[in-house]
Chains A and B, each alone.
Chain A
């Protein structure tokens, strides 16, 4: 059993006489907490964290771990309270699954040095705070390859969410690989400033289709764009966050799946046997954190084979989606022939590659 310290320091000792001794009950199970930004059935980001969490419990065993969660936690002071509450309630490891939880996680972690924290998609770490994130751009490279082959109008539509590096990486990766197999493609991008707003997503998809796009990428989480693609006919799209297989075999021809379960299992196990250490990881197709959903028969066999070959090459580490020669949008050189982008540049990516039109909103 662990002893917890809360708000170390003299002032805290006066204000909080109770806290130092730790809970008096015996604790056999490892308690795992999850803080979610949306409802657990949002069909997107939060749902897949929650499903991965439940898989983790199933795999390790309900007799060994207990899972608690809180959904729809606003980013900011409410998140800090939710985390503190879990730590006080005896959680041994807490996963905070949204970028906006970064500073609150660091704050709370400082008060509970014996609790392990895992923050998704951020860049700050501490002795008891790890950062984990997925290389979704690897998946976008595969999707871009399929899109480049499949488009007949040579117009690709991209529904972008919030202008952050992760989304920009996705756009660049998809565009580079579509262009590679089809030099005539152009990409139209709509920024929605939201991760999930089905009505807006539907409108955006319809707009892109009306402007000639016959492939729709989405970095937003609802199935509304796929429904719009289906209504339009002859338009394809890709599942996002989840498989969205209810729209297979077409318009959904493949998908990028968030699969956090293997990571959750390994980190909870590390906590249980005391080998947990702070780290900052960025995992991709290789560990299964980024899954590529089944490529349906709507895609010709040779295209499917090419896409799968790329997936395997990325997974094996033989191919990096950002390999030179690549130029930035303004025509300046970025990567020389054969050069591979470093993670630092990718982490803060705030530019389009050459050929993309429009500007990243500032």
Chain B
């Protein structure tokens, strides 16, 4: 019988080795799946993991990884701060939506005015929209002690309904022949979050994500607040003795996470997506939760995890159109990757031991 024993210190070796083991295990299991579906497993694995990075059209896919990965990283960084402190905001999807609506709403209100200050204003409003939406569960927790996991989740559905409502009503494009959805911000120069260097994939959202990674790293390692966050997560009682004010921390972490998610939504709607529409949200808010954990709540880890997720999305799409793999097979493959990554993580903090009897 195998038994887990907690390590005194997290294993450095396994911290680096575990993700590699998980990816290899996924390749094996995924390969079996693809073979079972009658596709060449080696070709499929190569298409998913190699082609976006080094294939013939990598010049296009590499920037696309930034486009796809940036919102995930930006949201996940915000979430990770709260997660570290034991504050469970799982409603980033809703905050993402509300940020996008707030930011795009400002732009559409000023349409067709061209001004340099419009885009910065949109970013601020996007951040505010997400932040205020996150403040609802935060305030309820601080005032009433309400469980923030559940409130933030409920607010996702509310935000989705609100999105449908504004797509059909308030923000509907008056020149859109009655179709739901807003004007396309890509065609509104002052509001457009364009690529900073054409063909590079770098838009303001990518820049913001990178800044967020660096800031989070500094915050956690060099700043008192970061220390308080870590302490609250690891030893709540000790944190209180150390002068941490838990209520302020909840407001701060939730607000920050909401603001980053809202900004991610704004950058997306003003850039790659362009329009507010009924199904504008593509699940980034939920995927970012997974990204945060895959990255072990560490800023650099999150950056890598976000890029890995983006890679499987893009590689998966290539495998679909070039090999005829179904989108469901790709989804299962991604699911496997997540399972393996989550599963091997245990080896960092625990070691496997042979034991005679089960005790748990």
Taking beta carbons and an 8 Å cutoff, which residues of A are in contact with B?
A: 6-7, 9, 11-12, 15-19, 23, 33, 39-40, 68-72, 74-78, 80-82, 84-86, 88-89, 99-100, 103, 107, 123, 162-165, 168, 193, 347-350, 361-362
Contact = CB atoms under 8 A, between A and B. Distances in A.
B327 A71 contact: yes
B197 interface: yes
B271 to A, nearest CB: 8
Nearest to A33: B321
Given A88-B60, A89-B321, A123-B177, A77 B198 contact: no
B61 to A, nearest CB: 8
Interface string B55-68: 01101100010011
Interface string B161-173: 0001000110010
A34 to B, nearest CB: 9
Contact of B198 (A11, A19, A193): A11
B274 A103 contact: yes
Which among A6, A77, A349 has the highest number of chain B CB atoms within 10 Å? Answer: A77
A81 B317 contact: yes
A123 B177 CA distance: 9
A349 B177 CA distance: 8
A71 B317 contact: no
Given A75-B277, A163-B168, A85 B317 contact: yes
Contacts of A9: 198
A19 B275 CA distance: 29
Contacts of A163: 168, 178, 180
B199 to A, nearest CB: 4
A76 B305 CA distance: 23
Nearest to A193: B164
B317 A15 contact: no
A77 B59 CA distance: 17
A12 B279 contact: no
B321 A77 contact: no
B250 to A, nearest CB: 34
A99 B197 contact: no
Given A76-B272, A80-B272, A86 B186 contact: no
Please name the 6 residue pairs, one residue from A and one from B, whose CB atoms are nearest each other, closest first: A77-B272, A15-B199, A11-B198, A348-B177, A350-B178, A72-B327
Contact of A362 (B57, B168, B186, B198): B168
A348 B178 contact: yes
B320 interface: yes
Given A6-B60, A162-B278, 16 more contacts: A11-B198, A12-B198, A15-B198, A18-B59, A69-B321, A71-B326, A72-B327, A75-B279, A77-B268, A85-B60, A89-B321, A100-B277, A163-B180, A165-B177, A348-B177, A349-B178
Contacts of A81: 64, 314, 317
Given A71-B327, A103-B186, A347-B177, A15 B273 contact: no
Contacts of A78: 282, 317
5 contacts: A6-B60, A16-B199, A85-B318, A100-B181, A362-B168
Interface of B: 56-57, 59-60, 64, 67-68, 164, 168-169, 172, 177-181, 184, 186, 197-200, 268, 272-275, 277-280, 282, 314, 317-318, 320-322, 324, 326-328
A99 B181 CA distance: 11
A347 B314 CA distance: 36
Contacts of A17: 59
B257 to A, nearest CB: 23
A85 B322 CA distance: 9
B171 to A, nearest CB: 12
Contacts of A76: 272-275, 277, 280, 282
B244 to A, nearest CB: 41
Contacts of A85: 57, 60, 317-318, 321
Contacts of B327: 39, 70-72
B314 to A, nearest CB: 7
Contacts of A18: 59
Contacts of B272: 76-77, 80
B60 A70 contact: no
B278 A193 contact: yes
B168 A361 contact: yes
Nearest to B313: A78
Nearest to A38: B327
Contact of A103 (B56, B68, B178, B184): B184
A107 B186 contact: yes
A361 B318 CA distance: 39
Contacts of A33: 321
B180 A74 contact: no
A72 B68 CA distance: 17
A344 to B, nearest CB: 9
Contacts of B282: 74, 76, 78
Contacts of B59: 15-19
A77 B164 CA distance: 19
Contacts of A103: 184, 186, 274-275
A164 B178 contact: yes
B283 to A, nearest CB: 9
A103 B318 CA distance: 22
A350 B172 CA distance: 13
Nearest to B322: A89
Contact of B328 (A39, A77, A89, A107): A39
Given A74-B282, A76-B273, A362 B169 contact: yes
Which among A18, A81, A99, A123 has the highest number of chain B CB atoms within 10 Å? Answer: A81
A18 B274 CA distance: 28
A193 B180 CA distance: 11
Contacts of A15: 59, 197-200
Nearest to B200: A15
Contacts of A74: 279, 282
Nearest to A41: B326
B318 to A, nearest CB: 6
Contacts of A70: 317, 320-321, 327
Contacts of B318: 85
A195 to B, nearest CB: 11
Nearest to A361: B168
Contacts of A7: 198-199
Contacts of B181: 100
A283 B56 CA distance: 40
Contacts of A123: 177
Contacts of B320: 70-71
